[in-house]
């Protein structure tokens, strides 16, 4: 008799004899319990020790021994105690201890009030649109108030382009005369200006050049 015929006969006997079906279920459950006990016994020969208290990490109900082997601590309390070692807690009823050098008070960049924050004294000042005229804005303020370096650089470039195109009705490359596409270049690079330099100083007409893309690249890399 083949294996398939044996399986068919076993299935037919299970369906025709409910008592045998119950007996098979009970036998399977008993076998699973024995298998689990063997696995736990094998685990206890070389158990995992808690990384904080050193006690044996026991196999929890409904948990496989293979899952218990991956644990480092016996419970959440030991894990928290281990991870919080060396942290300075606030004394009972007192002020938190000072760590490092305390910040010095300085004026808010929006309203001018004294603050120990990095730039602004409150969330409202941080959320207030920056309405200061661009010509009166310093390079440092512009780069701090823009999300990225490229965004601040684009503002300076756009301002320079407006100034130079307003003074040149027929823009063309300063070197070769090409006029199909021209770009604005700075004789004195923006990166060389200090943070307290105004945008109007950076984009003075005497510091600006109209160049074609090729000569602009040569100017920046010369």
Q: What percent of the chain has pLDDT over 90?
A: 17
pLDDT score for 88: 63
By the 8 A CB rule, do 140 and 195 touch?
Answer: yes
Closest CA to 218 of 174, 165, 161: 174
pLDDT score for 31: 87
Same domain, 193 and 143: yes
Q: Is the pLDDT of residue 192 over 70?
A: yes
136-to-77, 121, 165, 199 alpha-carbon distances in Å: 57, 22, 21, 7
Same domain, 147 and 112: no
Same domain, 124 and 72: no
Structural domain range at position 198: 137-220
pLDDT score for 21: 66
Q: Is the pLDDT of residue 106 over 60?
A: yes
> Does pTM surpass 0.85?
no
Q: Is the pLDDT of residue 215 over 70?
A: yes
Exposure string (b/e) for 132-153, b if CB count within 10 Å is 16 or more? Answer: eebeebbbebbbebeeeeeebe
By the 8 A CB rule, do 124 and 132 touch?
Answer: no
Same domain, 155 and 192: yes
Q: Is residue 91 part of a domain?
A: no
Kindly report, residue by residue over 28-45, the tens digit of the pLDDT.
Answer: 888 888 898 999 899 889
Same domain, 143 and 216: yes
**Distance separating the N- and C-terminal Cα atoms of the chain:** 90
Same domain, 161 and 185: yes
- Three-state SS across 122-136? CHHHHHCCCCCCHHH
Q: Is the pLDDT of residue 169 over 80?
A: yes
Q: Residue 8 contacts by C-beta under 8 Å, 6 or more apart in sequence?
A: none
Same domain, 214 and 142: yes
pLDDT (average), residues 64-73? 89
pLDDT score for 18: 67
Q: Is the pLDDT of residue 13 over 60?
A: no
Kindly report, residue by residue over 73-89, the tens digit of the pLDDT.
Answer: 988 888 888 888 877 66
Number of H helices, E strands in the chain: 9, 4
């Amino acid at each position: 008799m083949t294996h398939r015929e044996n399986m068919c006969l076993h299935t037919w006997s299970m369906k025709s004899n409910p008592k045998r079906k119950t007996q098979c279920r009970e036998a399977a459950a008993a076998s699973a319990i024995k298998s689990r006990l063997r696995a736990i016994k094998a685990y206890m020969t070389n158990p995992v020790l808690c990384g904080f208290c050193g006690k044996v990490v026991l196999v929890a109900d409904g948990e496989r021994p293979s899952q218990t082997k991956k644990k480092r601590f016996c419970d959440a309390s030991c894990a928290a105690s281990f991870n919080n070692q060396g942290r300075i807690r606030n004394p009972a009823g007192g002020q938190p201890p000072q760590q490092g050098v305390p910040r010095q008070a300085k004026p808010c960049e929006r309203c001018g009030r004294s603050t120990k924050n990095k730039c602004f004294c409150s969330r409202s000042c941080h959320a207030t649109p920056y309405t200061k005229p661009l010509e009166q804005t310093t390079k440092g303020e512009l780069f701090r108030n823009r999300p990225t370096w490229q965004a601040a650089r684009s503002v300076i470039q756009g301002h320079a382009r407006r100034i130079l195109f307003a003074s040149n009705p027929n823009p063309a490359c300063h070197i070769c005369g090409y006029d199909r596409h021209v770009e604005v270049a700075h004789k004195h690079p923006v990166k060389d200006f200090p943070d307290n330099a105004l945008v109007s100083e950076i984009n003075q007409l005497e510091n600006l050049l109209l160049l074609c893309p090729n000569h602009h690249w040569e100017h920046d890399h010369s």
